[in-house]
Structure 1
Amino acid sequence: MKQLITFVKKEFWHVLRDKRTLLVLFGMPIVQVLLFGFALSTEVKDTKIGVIDQDKSQASIELISKIAANQYFDIDQDLKSINEAEDAFKGGKTKMILVIPAKFSQNMSSGKKAQLQLITDGTDLNMANQVYSFMSNIIMDFYGQQAIQSNSGVQPEIRMLYNPQLKGAPNFVPGVMALILLIICVLMTAIAIVREKEMGTMEVLLVSPMKPYIIILAKAIPYFILSIIILISILILSVTVLDLPIKGSLLLLFSISIIFIITNLLLGIVISIVTDSQQTAMLIALVGTMLPTIMLSGFMFPVENMPMPLQIIGNVIPAKWYYEIVKNIMIKGTGWEVVWKHVLVLIGMMLVLFFISVKRFKIRLE
């Protein structure tokens, strides 16, 4: 135990002396949380739209006023024709055109089908879908109010559970937590043993009485403690800056996060063992973990829409399971009865990685 503590202190001093490492450890999480929380938000805010009102009736004016009073849209142009709408799209600022046809009010008051046309800019498909969804909700609400006034029809009522304000933070924060912890833990530990090889100090460790698992623990413990500090910092930023309350059990979230951190640290140790240079270890850690996490974990793209082979590959990514756990606990407020299967998968990955790291650790340098 004394040897382990001594080795852990040595690793701590090495990290604390390196200002660039400290900047990466604590600067990158803060920047990414703020960046994803604000700059990369999917919320629709003050989106410029154009309106072609061919009806000029009281109903069309009320609809336009309802849209203008909404915080999501800004009626930028009062267009006269489709040609003007195309010019507005080419300008790049207008994201949608609402076309109110003639006899719109007459058809609605007489009980006939009153149609509206929504034209979106398909060059940005995600934005187009977001704008279309928000505008459809406003129009449906308008139809419902008109139906109440005429005592006819059915009023649709839409409720968005867990995120009624349609903010971007509930979507991004769980994924950012998984991404940051994975990158930090894997990257830092991936170069730990490789650095000893390159500096020529590995021979000293190998002739010491310490067993392989002691060396692995001593390399991982400092980064484990730093990862806990980073986790706490992310949660504080999410609650205070991004206004994202933790609806579920904080203790459960923290406990599962520890399992995820250990899994990532062991993954970094395995990469460190099988590589011979810090550059190779860093490349594998970044490309081999960051890209699959972004692409296949469900953070950026729905897993259900992916081909089956990619869905299978995604199941071996620890961040996928952790992302679903954090989303359920933080956003939905669910408990152990929902996430226990995901936790067992993470524990299984952790044990497999620990077994591999101990078995692949070489007691002799070739």
Structure 2
Amino acid sequence: MKRFTGFIKKEFYHIFRDRRSLFILFGMPIAQILLFGFAITNEINNVDIAILDHSKDATTEEIINKISASKYFSIKQMIGREAEIETAFKNGKIKAVLNFENDFGKKLVKESKVTIQIITDATDPNTANSITNYLNAILQNYQQSENRGIQIEYQIIPKTRMVYNPELKSVFMFVPGVMTIILMLVSAMMTSISITREKELGTMEILLVSPLKPFQVIVGKVVPYIFLSIINAAVIVLLSIFLFGMPVQGSLFLLGAESVLFIITSLALGILISTIAETQQSAMMISLMGLMLPVILLSGFIFPITSMPEPLQIISHIIPAKWFIIIIKGIMLKGIGMSFIWKETLILIAMTVFFIGLSVKKYKIRLE
């Protein structure tokens, strides 16, 4: 019994001395519960909306102030004419437009009935429904406050219009997100084990004494996987179009070019992981655990980023998948061109250069 007790004590000592084991035991559960607790929410907060006010009277100003005072919406743009609505949506930041008709306040007093149009970006159907419900609730609350103490009650009738996905098909949201996850994880995992495989098989020494420069070795590792991932991306797009009826409103060439860019970004990230990890197993674990949760939770695929706490919104900026989802939804559903997504494209290019540069630096350290 004493031997058994001593053996148990020894195991405790081993666990407490191994920082990685302690991190897996205590750090990972805490990190996951915090991430899931703050990121997973169906509520909306600080959603950017635009206002098209044809009336510009005291009544519309009061409603606008009431919406702006809520924590749910942030008025980012005042639109002058209806032709600007589509441009506002294509820029990607505006999620809804509130359209007040002419003589809004006069009609409300004279006819006791008035309409207001709520135009919502339905590329994310769940968020679009939430935005519409929240705006309807605020308008109803305003209507109830105005109807106190009067005989003929005012009626504010909201008319909802969903753009880019009028039928609110969930597949329009899931296809871009699933495509992003597949390309990110598969590309990163494929390359993350490439250099670690060389070390485990004992062929790393051959690379170390070869005349190839570190940059050539890194690029040589990436190039074969680029072609394989392009085939993967083409299959996903074809299945999305012909099997799920996913539209491609924009340029197929631009969609292909942006997909190739994201593939290269993912492969470069995988190479970086492979230069850091010591074994294939650890490289695969980093790829799965370090990429899957952030890609699903912090990319805006399922949960709106604007509803998350500020620290998580900042972290989401370094997730490549976030920028690719914006690009692919814009091209496929909104039909936008490079003039609307050039910022996101430059961010992905910068990330690719950073990952490759850091990989080369790490590889040089191993050469020394």
- Pairwise TM-score range, normalised by the shorter structure: 0.5 to 0.7
Q: Which residue of 2 aligns with 1:223?
A: 225
Deviation at 1:253, TM superposition (A): 1.2
Q: What is the aligned counterpart of 1:169 among 168, 171, 179?
A: 171
2:234 corresponds in structure 1 to 232
Report if aligned partners of 1:273, 1:360 keep a CA contact under 8 Å in 2: yes
Cα distance change of structure 1 residues 244 and 364 upon mapping to structure 2, 3 Å threshold: closer
TM-superposed CA distance for 1:300, in Å, is: 1.1
Aligned-partner Cα distance in 1 for 2:306–2:365: 44
Q: What is the deviation of 1:211?
A: 1.4
Q: What are the within-5 Å matches in structure 2 for residues 177-196 of structure 1?
A: 177-196=179-198
TM, length-normalised to structure 1 = 0.58
Confirm whether residue 312 of structure 1 aligns to residue 337 of structure 2: no
Q: 8 Å contact 1:260–1:346 — kept in the other structure?
A: yes
* Contact 1:191/1:272 (8 A) holds in 2: yes
CA distance in 2, matches of 1:324, 1:186: 20
Q: 1:158 to 1:197 in 2, by over 3 A?
A: same
- C-alpha displacement at 1:234, in angstroms? 0.6
Count of residues in correspondence between the two structures: 227
Cα distance in 2 between the residues matched to 1:262 and 1:205: 22
Letter in 1 for 2:275: I
Q: Which residue of 1 aligns with 2:210?
A: 208
Q: 1:153 to 1:340 in 2, by over 3 A?
A: same
Q: 1:203 touches 1:365 (CA, 8 Å); kept in 2?
A: no
Q: Is the 8 A contact 1:189 1:265 kept in 2?
A: yes
How far the C-alpha of 1:185 sits from its partner, in A, is: 0.7
Q: Distance in 2 between matches of 1:112 and 1:318?
A: 51
Deviations 1:77-98 (A, max 9, x none): xxxxxxxxxxxxxxxxxxxxxx
Query: Who is 2:347 aligned against?
Result: 345
Task: Tell me if the contact between 2:112 and 2:155 (Cα under 8 Å) persists in the aligned partners.
Answer: no
Shift in Å at residue 158 of structure 1?
Answer: 2.4
- State how 1:247-258 maps to structure 2 within 5 Å: 247-258=249-260
Matches within 5 A, 1:32-181: 156-181=158-183
Shift of 1:364: 4.8
Aligned amino acid, residue 226 of structure 1: L
1:206·1:363 contact (CA, 8 Å) conserved in 2?
no
User: Deviation digits for residues 269-316 of structure 1, max 9, x if unmatched?
Assistant: 010001101111001001111110101010010000000000000000
CA distance in 2, matches of 1:238, 1:282: 28
* In 1, Cα distance between equivalents of 2:203 and 2:186: 24
| 3-state SS of 2:162 partner | coil
- What corresponds to 1:329 in structure 2? 331
**Displacement after TM superposition at 1:326 (Å):** 0.5
Deviations 1:239-267 (A, max 9, x none): 00000110011111111111111111110
Whole-Å separation in 2 of the counterparts to 1:112 and 1:351: 61
Q: 1:281 maps to which residue?
A: 283
**C-alpha RMSD of the superposition:** 2.8
How far did 1:157 drift?
Answer: 3.5
Counterpart selection for 1:242 from 241, 244, 254: 244
The code of the aligned residue for 2:273 comes to: I
**Alpha-carbon distance in structure 2 between the residues aligned to 1:307 and 1:271:** 28
Q: Which residue of 2 aligns with 1:293?
A: 295
TM-score (norm 2): 0.57
Gaps of 5+ in 1: 1-110, 114-125, 137-151
**Cα-to-partner distance string for 1:138-160 (whole Å, 9 max, x where unaligned):** xxxxxxxxxxxxxx977653221
